[in-house]
Structure 1
Amino acid sequence: MGDSNDLRGASYQTALDYLYGRVNYERASGGPPRGRDLNLERMRELLARVDNPQQQFPAVHIAGTKGKGSTAAMVAGVLKAAGYRTGLYTSPHLDYLEERIQIDGQRCSPDELMALVDVLRPTVVSMDEEAERGGPLGTPTFFEITTAMTMLHFASQTVDVAVLEVGLGGRLDSTNVCRPVVTAITSISFDHVRQLGDTLAEIAAEKAGIIKPGAPIVCGVTGKEPRKVIRSIAAERGAPTCFVGEDYDFQHHQPNGLTLLPAALHYTSELGGAWRLPDVQLGMIGAHQAANAAVAIATLQQLELAGWRIPKDAIYRGLAESRCPARIEIVSRRPTVVLDAAHNVASIDALLAAVEAGLCASQRILIFAAARDKDVPGMLKRLLESFDSIILTQYLDNPRAVAPADAKEMLERGAYDADLSRKPAITTCETPALAWQHCETIVTPDALVCITGSFFLAAEMRNLVTEASPLSATSM
C-alpha cells in the first residue's frame, strides 16, 4: 500500500511539474505579454483537437478588474443551490492547482488532474513539435492547458452550466472560447495596464471582449467612460445590456457592531418580472461584496429570463454560503488577522473601507508584498496612514515580487510626502516566515493584522498564520 501511494504521489508531482514547466505568465518576471502579442488561435486549435469540450455546456462568463472571482463564486453557489450541476473555474489558486477546477463546490481530485494531463499531453506534444518546425501557432501555455483541462473535466462530468472567471482582460483570455448564456463585467479600474491599456476606456474595451451576440451583458461598472465603451460594444454585437443604476440597483447595509461581519444588501430590478430581494445576507465581508453580489443577482435574473429556474430561496441560501478565500478572510482571532489578495489601488481602498467600518483596534499591523508590475507606490500611499507598524516582505514562489528594500524606499517617500501626525514603524523581512515571526514579537491580543498586496503573498502567509493560530478560520 505504501509503495502504491508513493507511486501515486510521484505521478501527481510529475503532472504538476509538467504543467508548471510550461510558459506561465502568472509567474513570469515580466508578467504577461502585451495584448497585441496574444491571440486565441492556439487555444481554439488545442480545444478543436480534443473535440471542443467547451461547446458541450453553457457558460456564465465573468470579467472585471476586481470582484470577478467573488462574483463567480456567488453565481456558482446559487446555481448549485438551485439544483444545477455547476462547474466553477477561477484563478489563481492558494494551495493546490485543483482549487481552480470545481464542481458543486468540490475541487478536482489529484487523480482527475493526472488523468486530464494524460488526455491533453499527446495533443500538446504534437503542437510543440509543430512549433519547433516553424508552425505559426507556437506552444500551448500553462494557462491555456489548464483552461483546456477544465473544459474537458466539465464536459466529461456533464455539468449543467459552468461559471468561468476570466484570467486576464477578456478579449484575448483563454476562457473566451466558451458558449456563454450571459456575460458580466464587475468593475473597471487600473491594473495590468501594460497588457490592457493605460486608460479606463482601453481597459473596458478589453474586458468587453467577452460580450457575445445575443448573450446579455450585466455591467456593475460605475464610471461614465467605461460604461460608454461597454454599451457601444454590446450594441455592435447585438447583446442586451443590464447596467447597475439603470436596470438594477442595490443598497448595502452593514451589520451593527465593531467586528468584521459579512455584508448584506437589498436588491431591486424592474427587468422582466420585477425582483425585490430584501435583506440578502452574504458570506463575504465588505461593501464591495454587496456590489459584487448585486452583479451576481442580476446575472442570475438574466438566466431566469432565459428560462432557467432560479428560486429566490436558492439566491438567499447560495449567497449566504458562498466563500472566497483570501478576500478579506479572517484567519485568526485575538489577534484579528485579516488576509486579503488586494493587488491594486481600488482593491486596497475596498479593504480599508471594510476595516475602518468594521473594527476598532488599539494596534494595527500591516504585512505587505506585491509584484513589480503593480502600482506599489499607489497601494502603499493608501495604506500608510492606517497602520502603526508596516512589515514589508516578498513572496518566494513568484519572481515578480518587489524586493522589500525597494518597497521600503517607495513607502518612505510616501511617508515624507504625507501629512501624518505619526509615521508608522517600517520593517523589512526577506521571507513571509520572517515577517510573521517579527509580527508575533510586537503584536498584542487586541491588535488587527492585515496581510495584503498580492494573491501570492496571501497563499504563502495563509498556512503560516493558520498553523501558528489553530483557530477556526472565517472565510470571506
Structure 2
Amino acid sequence: MSRLALYLQNLQRFGIQPGLERIVALLVSAGNPHLQYPHILVGGTNGKGSTCEYTARMLAQNGRRIGLFTSPHLYEWNERIRVLPGVGLFEGTISDEELDALFDDALPHIERVASELGQPTEFEVLTFLGLWHFARVGVAAAVVEVGLGGKWDATNASDPLVSVVTHVALDHMDRLGNTLEEIAADKVCISRPGRLFITGEWKPEVLEVFEGYCNEIGAFFKQIPLSNQNYERQNRALAIVVANEFASQLDWSLSMPNSIMDGVPGRTEKIGDSPAIYIDAANNPDGAQKLVEFFNERIPTQPENVVLVLGILKDKNWREMAETLVPLARTVICCQSDSPRALSAEELADFLRNIHSDVEVIADVKLAVERARELAAHNDTILVTGSFTIIAEVPRNANYSP
C-alpha cells in the first residue's frame, strides 16, 4: 500500500465538503499546474467514466500523451491518475513509486492549505495530485471526470477547453436537488464562457436548463441526439464527438483503430465463460435501467438462464434498483461488500422475497459468485452488479473457464 493510500484512509472521516476554496488554494500553491495543458471536463449522472476513457484513448495517438483522471477506483487509488497510452487493465496507471513521490512533494501544499482553510477532503487531495501530475509529466492534454454534480466539485476548479455532461437522471438528490432541472442546473456549471459545452442529453426540461445557462454565460451549446441507442453506444458516440471537437481546436488529427473502442473494465465486462460471467458497476436506478436495456439487447437470454449476484449501497435508491434488476434472473443471490456504505444482504433479501420467488443470501461476494457458478448451467449467464464495491470483490484472476 502506498503512503498516499494510508493518508487517504484517514481523510475519509471528513466526507464530502462542497466548495472550491480548498482545491483552488492547493492549485495556486503549486503554481496552477492545471493551466499548463488543455483539458476536457466530463460530468453526468452515468456514462461519464466510459466517455472519459474512450475520449482519452482517441486523443492518445501520434505520440501524444494524455492524462486521464477518473473516479471512483475499482481496485486501488492509482487507477484514478493515468497517462495514456500505457499497458495493463487500467492502462497508464501511475505507479506506487510515482504516487508516493508526488504525494511527498504535495504534502507541504496540503498542510499549508489545511492550516488556513481546513483539511482538504480525500477527493480534493486526489484531484490536486492528478492535475499536478499531468503537468509534471508534460501531457499534451487531459480528460478529467467530475466526481459529484458539477458546481462545487473539486474538478470544477480546472479550466476546461471543452465541457461535457453525458446526461442527467435522479441521483445524489440530497446534494444536487430533487428534480431533473435542479440537478441539471448544478451539472451545467462546469461549462465556461466562450467555450464549447457538449451533451448527449435529450430530455426537453434538461436541455432547456443547459441552453439557458450557456446562453447566459456565453458558452457554445452543442447537443448530440443519442436517445435511441443503448448506453454503450451512447458513450462511444459522445466520446467520438468530444474528441473530434477538442482535437479540431488544437489542429490535431485523429484516427479510429478498433482497439480504441474495446470495453471499459467494470462496465458490462465479461470475465468468464461457460457459464458466462459479467460484472457491471451500475449503482443507481438510471444505471440499473441502462444495464437491463443493454443486457436485453446485446446478451439476449431468458430469465431462466440468468443468475444475478446483487449487492447495493444503502445510501442509494436501492429498492428501485432491485426492482429494475431482478426480473432479469431466475435466481438472485444477495451479497454485501466490505464498504461501510453496503446495504445488508439480509435486508436486501427480505425486500426481494416480496417480488421474486428464488432469493438466496450469501453475504461474502466471492462465495456468492461461487454459489452462482454452482447453480448456473454451462450455457447460462451470471451477472454481478449493484456497485463498484461489489464488483471490486469479484476475483478477477480466478479460473472461470470450464
Give the TM-score, by structure 2 length: 0.93
Sort the Cα spacing of 1:429 and 1:251 in 2 relative to 1 into closer, same or farther, 3 A. closer
Q: Does 1:98 align with 2:78?
A: yes
Cα distance in 1 for partners of 2:260, 2:227 equals 15
Listed as ranges, the matches of 1:67-466 within 5 Å are: 67-104=47-84, 105-128=91-114, 130=115, 135=116, 137-245=117-225, 287-311=230-254, 314-317=255-258, 319-321=260-262, 323-357=263-297, 358-360=299-301, 362-396=304-338, 398-413=339-354, 415=355, 423-461=356-394, 463=395, 466=397
Query: What letter is aligned with 2:324?
Result: R
Number of equivalent positions: 394
Query: What is the Cα deviation at residue 24 of structure 1?
Result: 5.8
Contact kept? 2:308, 2:326, Cα under 8 Å = no
Cα distance in 2 for partners of 1:457, 1:331 equals 15
Query: What letter is aligned with 1:293?
Result: R
Query: What is the Cα deviation at residue 433 of structure 1?
Result: 2.4
Sort the Cα spacing of 1:24 and 1:469 in 2 relative to 1 into closer, same or farther, 3 A. farther
Sort the Cα spacing of 1:78 and 1:24 in 2 relative to 1 into closer, same or farther, 3 A. farther
Q: Deviations over 1:406-449 (max 9, x none)?
A: 11222234x1xxxxxxx431011222123123223322211111
Cα distance in 1 for partners of 2:357, 2:264 equals 31
Given candidates 11, 16, 35, the residue that maps to 2:5 is 16
Cα distance in 1 for partners of 2:217, 2:259 equals 32
Q: Deviations over 1:376-435 (max 9, x none)?
A: 110111122221100111101x2011111211222234x1xxxxxxx4310112221231
Query: What letter is aligned with 1:157?
Result: V
Query: What letter is aligned with 1:110?
Result: D
Q: Secondary structure at the match of 2:184?
A: helix
Contact kept? 1:300, 1:310, Cα under 8 Å = no
Root-mean-square deviation (Å) = 1.9
Q: Secondary structure at the match of 2:132?
A: helix
Query: What letter is aligned with 2:311?
Result: A
Cα distance in 2 for partners of 1:304, 1:433 equals 43
Give the TM-score, by structure 1 length: 0.79
Cα distance in 2 for partners of 1:146, 1:15 equals 9
Query: What letter is aligned with 1:401?
Result: A
Cα distance in 1 for partners of 2:13, 2:154 equals 13
Cα distance in 2 for partners of 1:250, 1:294 equals 11
Cα distance in 2 for partners of 1:250, 1:191 equals 19
Contact kept? 1:220, 1:291, Cα under 8 Å = yes
Cα distance in 2 for partners of 1:241, 1:217 equals 5
Q: Deviations over 1:68-108 (max 9, x none)?
A: 00000011010013542111111111112111111114111
Sort the Cα spacing of 1:82 and 1:315 in 2 relative to 1 into closer, same or farther, 3 A. farther
Sort the Cα spacing of 1:75 and 1:435 in 2 relative to 1 into closer, same or farther, 3 A. same
Query: What is the Cα deviation at residue 354 of structure 1?
Result: 1.9
Cα distance in 2 for partners of 1:387, 1:251 equals 25
Q: Deviations over 1:230-281 (max 9, x none)?
A: 1111111111011123xxx6975xxxxxxxxxxxxxxxxxxxxxxxxxxxxx
Query: What letter is aligned with 2:360?
Result: T
Query: What is the Cα deviation at residue 126 of structure 1?
Result: 2.9
Query: What letter is aligned with 2:58?
Result: V
Sort the Cα spacing of 1:351 and 1:250 in 2 relative to 1 into closer, same or farther, 3 A. closer
Sort the Cα spacing of 1:204 and 1:73 in 2 relative to 1 into closer, same or farther, 3 A. same
Sort the Cα spacing of 1:114 and 1:307 in 2 relative to 1 into closer, same or farther, 3 A. closer
Greater Rg, structure 1 or structure 2? 1
Query: What is the Cα deviation at residue 344 of structure 1?
Result: 1.2
Q: Secondary structure at the match of 2:120?
A: coil
Unaligned runs of 5+ residues in structure 1 are 1-11, 253-286, 416-422, 472-476
Q: Secondary structure at the match of 2:277?
A: strand
Query: What is the Cα deviation at residue 345 of structure 1?
Result: 1.4
